[in-house]
Amino acid sequence: MTPVFKKEFLGYFRSPVGYVILAAFHFAVIALALYFGYYRNSQATLFTLFVRLPWVLAIFIPAVGMRLWSEEKRSGSIELLFTLPISPRSAVVAKFLAALCFICVGLCLTFSLAITTSYLGDPDWGVIFSGYIGAALTSAAFLAITAACSALTKNQVIALVLSILICVLSTLIGSDWLAQFLANKVPTGMLDVLRLFSFEQHFEAMSRGLIDISAISFYVTLTLAFLGINMVVIER
Amino acid sequence: MVTVDRLVKDYGTLRAVDGVSFTINKGDILGFLGPNGAGKSTTMKMITGFLTPTSGKATVDGFDVTENPIEVKQRIGYLPESSAAYPEMTVVEFLTYVAEARGITDKEEVTSRLADVIVKCHLDSVKYRTIENLSKGYRQRVGVAQAIIHDPQVLILDEPTDGLDPNQKHEVRKLIQAMAKDKAIVLSTHILEEVEAICNRVIIIDQGKVLVDETPEAFKARKPGATIDEVFRDITNKNILA
């Protein structure tokens, strides 16, 4: 498993694509944090960074994970991979962890804003820590979705579009914006059910410092479920 | 060493491989011949464990490919038809990855195996170049190098000399012959002289079925005075007409 992990992780840095994705992610996250009033609010928190993070991740993570299986299928190297003495399960987990580590590099870069905050004020590090845990868990779930989509097709663009669609929709279904839009059109009970499946709602709790068991089990279940789908598709 | 027993592979309603059986032992070089789409690559992919047979079984060193895929894969070196590799990796990075994934964990051993295959496959001048910048001939040699890096007991080579110039073809054939003493080798090819030059057994497969399984000498003796190409044409055309 380790050689596949190593190859995949280092693969992100073998071409300019990895650096471009990291730079674009960093720029988008910081720009949104500033736009939503990082300085204006005069609060020593990273709330403005976390508030729109699931939306950025819903685009950034499919861009990172789209190649995981599509590229192997397109180039034919999947034949080499599965004639090595590696089980499909190890290959799925190794690729997933490698991409997750790359995403964590992206998340670590945004730590620059946390350092700025500690320079300007006295932030609650517990809340920041919980926010980053939430971001990592959201990333893991989005990545599992992307990996499963990537296993379905040899076309990276299809994998990208499909996974962005699923990630954005699953973020949207519990957003306040959709709740206001549907307020008088559907029963409140239905909106509550939708919120149970929403990334934004679960992440929001964690970005406020609440490490919620229901949120963690939501992320972990979803991640495992999509990794399972990935495995079934690959073994087919 | 390798036993293939009534192997069948269906793709939907199409039967790509239809009851192929053969056994090869250490020291054998089996030439797998047939027109395009005859089922050569599919049969090879089933032996390597990449494809699951619809029915029948293949065993390598006593291990069933379907039941013990990892044990089988440890004993096989495989050169895919597309000589698949990762274009953005350098030759050394790629071969190191394959060696490690093949279970060679000791760094010194990886280095010595790497040095060995680089010499055997004449890759020294390009070892730090990325694979995407190599010519087809060099890529093919990288493919052969990754197939032999772990010194496997069984080698499955899908068109190993494809894309090579005459000198390189000669080199690869010499390499295959030199390795044959302690290995069982299956290679597919379109080049019939290759079979004559290096194989001690020839199997002709067409439309998924084995038509001929004999020595190259017996194969050539089917039509005295004719070239091996003519004998091949006769057999495969007969099959089309039949």
pLDDT of residue A44: 66
CB contacts < 8 A, A to B, total 63
User: In which domain, by residue range, is A84 found?
Assistant: 2-235
Instruction: Provide the residue ranges of all domains of chain B, joining segments of one domain with +.
Output: 2-82+154-241
User: How sure is the predictor about A208, in pLDDT bands with cuts at 50, 70 and 90?
Assistant: confident
Number of domains in chain A: 1
What pLDDT is recorded for position B173?
Answer: 87
Chain-centroid distance, C-alpha B234? 25
The predicted pLDDT at position B237 comes to: 74
Alpha helices in chain A (DSSP H): 2-11, 16-35, 47-50, 53-65, 67-75, 77-81, 88-109, 111-120, 125-152, 156-172, 176-182, 188-196, 199-207, 213-235
Task: Write down the pLDDT at residue A9.
Answer: 93
List chain B residues with CB under 8 Å of A85. Answer: 70-71, 73-74, 101-103
Within a 13 Å sphere around the CA of A70, how many CA atoms are in the beta-carbon half? 23
Residues 6+ apart with CB under 8 A from B119: none
User: What does the DSSP 8-state code read for residue B153?
Assistant: S
Which residues share a beta bridge with B1?
none
The whole-number pLDDT of residue B89 equals: 92
Contact A150, A66 (CB under 8 A): yes
Average pLDDT over residues A62-72: 93
Residues B83, B88, B93, B98: is their CA dihedral positive or negative?
negative
pLDDT in tens, B199-225: 889 998 888 888 888 888 887 777 777
Contact (Cβ atoms closer than 8 angstroms) between residue A150 and residue A159: yes
Half-sphere exposure of B150 (CA within 13 A, CB side): 24
Residues paired with residue B22 on neighbouring β-strands, in sequence order: B4
Higher pLDDT, A206 or B86: B86
Q: Maximum Cα–Cα distance for chain B, whole Å?
A: 58
Predicted local confidence at residue B223, as pLDDT: 76
* Bridging pattern class, strands B29-33 and B76-79: unpaired
Q: Is the pLDDT of residue A101 over 90?
A: yes
Neighbours of B74 (CB within 10 A): 18
What's residue A205's pLDDT?
Answer: 77
- Best residue in A19, A68, A84 to probe B by mutation, most B CBs within 10 Å? A84
What is the per-residue pLDDT for B238?
67
At B239 the pLDDT is: 61
The dotted CATH code for B2-82+154-241 is 3.40.50.300
**CB contact (8 A) between residue A77 and residue B97:** no
Check whether A75 has a pLDDT greater than 70.
yes
A131 or A202, which is more confident:
A131
Angstroms from A15 CA to nearest CA on chain B: 7
Q: Which helix (H) or strand (E) holds B69?
A: helix B69-75
pLDDT digits (tens, 9 = 90+) for B50-71: 999 999 999 999 899 999 999 9
Residue A29 has pLDDT above 70, yes or no: yes
In this structure, the dihedral spanned by the alpha carbons of residues B46, B51, B52 and B54, taken in order and rounded to 10 degrees, is -80
CA B183 → CA A125, A167, B153, distances in Å?
62, 51, 5
pLDDT at A221: 92
Which pair of structure tokens corresponds to residue B119? 């010499």
Q: What is the pLDDT of residue A193?
A: 75
Task: Tell me the residues of B at the A interface, defined by beta carbons under 8 Å apart.
Answer: 45, 48-50, 69-71, 73-74, 76, 78, 80, 82, 84-89, 97-98, 100-103, 146
Mean pLDDT across the stretch A8-30?
90
Residue A77 forms contact with B (CB below 8 Å): yes
C-alpha angle A28-A30-A33 in degrees, rounded to nearest 5: 105
Put simply, the answer to whether B88 touches A14 (Cβ < 8 Å) is yes
CA nearest neighbour of A227 among A101, A88, A102: A88
- Across the interface, whether the CB atoms of A79 and B82 are under 8 A apart is answered yes
The pLDDT of residue B83? 67
| A73 contacts in chain B (CB < 8 Å) | none
Beta bridge partners of B186: B30, B156
Facing B101 at nearest CB: one of A4, A75, A77? A4
- Both tokens of A120, joined, read 């300007």
Q: How big is the CA angle at A26 (ends A20 and A28), to the nearest 5 degrees? A: 100
The pLDDT value recorded for residue A220 is: 93
Lowest mean pLDDT among A138-142, A145-149, A171-175: A171-175
Parts of chain B with a pLDDT under 50: none
For the segment A147-155, the average pLDDT, to the nearest whole number, is 94
> Given pLDDT bands bounded at 50, 70 and 90, which one contains residue A58?
very high
